[in-house]
Amino acid sequence: MTTRKSRKTSKKWSAQVTRNSDALDLGKGVFAKNDPRIIAASLKRSAEHSKRRKTSPYQSAMSMLNFYINRAGKNLPDRRKRVLERAKEALRESFKGTAKRKKARG
């Protein structure tokens, strides 16, 4: 007979990933900030200083932000989602010129 994890434990795996990411050491409460530029700057700083990430700093930072937005899902208030979506724009802007982009084939 296999044992099943309790529903309470299995629902919180995403919070654990956010807190204990193998790729990034996030600042405490980074996603609770109200300024998108501060969120983006914190993610960028974490991604650039990480020695454990497997992708570019830009991809790591954007992945963590998308992960947080997607896991919150319908429970994320519209106001909060707008702040986080603006943080994505700020993150793109902060990496502009530093992120390697794929060349268009032609």
User: pLDDT tens for residues 21-61?
Assistant: 555 777 788 888 999 999 999 999 988 888 877 888 999 89
Tell me, yes or no, whether 89 lies in a domain. Answer: yes
Distances in Å between the Cα of 66 and the Cα atoms of 3, 8, 99 are: 32, 23, 18
Tell me, yes or no, whether 5 lies in a domain. Answer: no
Tell me, yes or no, whether 7 lies in a domain. Answer: no
Tell me, yes or no, whether 3 lies in a domain. Answer: no
Tell me, yes or no, whether 4 lies in a domain. Answer: no
- pLDDT, the chain, mean: 79
Confidence category of residue 106, pLDDT binned at 50, 70, 90: very low
Range of the domain at 61: 30-95
Domain count within the chain: 1
Relative orientation angle of helices 57-72 and 36-49, to the nearest 10 degrees:
130
Which parts of 50-105 fold into alpha helices (H)? 57-72, 78-95
Tell me, yes or no, whether 21 lies in a domain. Answer: no
Tell me, yes or no, whether 6 lies in a domain. Answer: no
CB 95 within 8 A of CB 60: no
